Amino acid sequence: MNVLVTGSLGQLGSEILALSGRDGNKRYYFYDLPELDITDKKAVEHVCGNHDIDAIVNCAAYTAVDNAEDNSVSAYRVNRDGAAVLAEVAKDRDALLVHISTDYVFDGKAYKPYREHDPVSPLGVYGKSKWEGEELVRQIAPSYMIIRTSWLYSSYGNNFARTMLRLGDERELLKVVFDQVGTPTLAADLAGAIMAILDRYDRGDAYAEVYHYSNEGICSWYDFAKAIMKIKNLKCKVLPVESKEYPTKARRPHYSVLHKGKIRQEWGLDIPHWYDSLEKMLAGC
Ligand SMILES: NC(=O)c1ccc[n+]([C@@H]2O[C@H](COP(=O)([O-])OP(=O)(O)OC[C@H]3O[C@@H](n4cnc5c(N)ncnc54)[C@H](OP(=O)(O)O)[C@@H]3O)[C@@H](O)[C@H]2O)c1
């Protein structure tokens, strides 16, 4: 099976690349800007034709949540229109589209983990653009899996864990919000889950599925920061603050824990706890 990974220089794409060397059954092809812009249909068709692609894993996205508020055209171009282009090409080729989405499609008013069919109500441009991308994937692609994830971090790129590591070294005190609760997801764990699904899925079947995947457990950003300082033995003190003390351009859900039962059961996944995955990631830093 030939698999195209888009947005391959980002956190998730980089982790799939890192794991792909061990995967003998599939041939992976990795593309990112400027070689492949997912909004350029002719370019996507060309790459898919050249490599005889059977499945596309879309890791490309406009992920700057705050910047998206002022740059909605760019956010919608990539997150909605780019998703539609990939869905169209997947349809023409009879290929599977694995499309990654986000917990930010929810407004965070829930009090128990979000299930796949729970109503969405994104709070900002990023979440709205991702939701509209999902909708087009559902409408266009005959075979798709939409995987929503949350609080992605890795040893690659910009993310909360790496920022905390840097600031924890530089500063004596950090204020971190404790009224946004969710689950961090180690990008390497999600990459492994996607690759396990691709190993097991039946190419003769059409899929029309939405899944939720994050690590197990629940924490606030404050808890996450405390855990980073503790594991790395950093002396920086972390103070819990409310979101209103740390205003951001985009509103964020106060609660965005995802229910993982469906993906765990259907694909037999063993999902690690966020703390164990954080320890694993930090061991390499
Ligand atoms: N990061 C999170 O906390 C988080 C949380 C929930 C869900 N997600 C979702 O998880 C997926 C992977 O996220 P990530 O953190 O790995 O993202 P990332 O690190 O920001 O990587 C995205 C990659 O896509 C590229 N890209 C942007 N526009 C493109 C285009 N038009 N064509 C091709 N590539 C393009 C980016 O390039 P440039 O850097 O040059 O723009 C970047 O290399 C995304 O769907 C995201 O929405 C992320």
Each residue's pLDDT tens digit, 175-201: 999 999 999 999 999 999 999 999 998
Distance between Cα 108 and ligand 1 center (Å): 22
Going from the Cα of 29 to the center of ligand 1, the distance in angstroms, rounded, reads 17
Return the structure tokens found at 215: 């690590």
Q: Is the pLDDT of residue 23 over 80?
A: no
Where does the pLDDT of residue 204 fall: very low under 50, low under 70, confident under 90, or very high at 90 and above?
confident
Mean pLDDT of 71-97: 98
Q: Quote the ligand 1 centre to 63 CA distance (angstroms).
A: 5
Banded pLDDT at 202 (limits 50, 70, 90): confident
Task: Work out which ligand 1 atom sits closest to the CA atom of 156.
Answer: 19
DSSP letter string over the chain?
-EEEEESTTSHHHHHHHHHHTT--S-EEEEE-TTT--TT-HHHHHHHHHHHT-SEEEE------TTHHHH-HHHHHIIIIIIHHHHHHHHHHHT-EEEEEEEGGGS-S--SSPBPTTSPP---SHHHHHHHHHHHHHHHH-SSEEEEEE-SEE-SSSS-HHHHHHHHHHH-SEEEEESS-EE--EEHHHHHHHHHHHHHH--TTS--EEEEE---BS-EEHHHHHHHHHHHTT---EEEEE-GGGS--SS---SB-PBP-HHHHHHHT--PPBHHHHHHHHHHT-
| DSSP-assigned beta bridge partners for residue 27 | 2
Q: Is the pLDDT of residue 212 over 80?
A: yes
35 touches ligand 1 (CB under 6 Å): no
Mean pLDDT, the chain, as a whole number?
Answer: 96
59 lines ligand 1 (CB under 6 A): yes
190 ligand 1 Cβ < 6 A: no
Pocket of ligand 1 contains residue 8 by CB under 6 Å: no
Active-site annotation, residues? 126
Centre of ligand 1 to C-alpha 105, Å, is 16
pLDDT of residue 22: 72
Q: Is 100 in the pocket of ligand 1 (CB under 6 A)?
A: yes
What is the C-alpha to C-alpha distance for residues 242 and 181, in angstroms, rounded to an integer? 12
Output the pTM of the full model: 0.97
- Which residue do the tokens 């706890």 mark? 273
Mutation to probe ligand 1, out of 59, 89, 163, 211 (largest number of atoms < 8 A from CB) = 59
Find the 3 Cα to ligand 1 centroid distance in Å.
Answer: 18
In this prediction, residue 62 carries a pLDDT of: 98
Task: Give all domains of the chain, ordered by start, each with its CATH number.
Answer: 2-158+184-216+255-273 (3.40.50.720)
Whether 92 has a pLDDT exceeding 80, the answer reads: yes
pLDDT value at residue 25? 82
Q: For ligand 1, say whether the CB of 6 is within 6 Å of any of its atoms.
A: yes
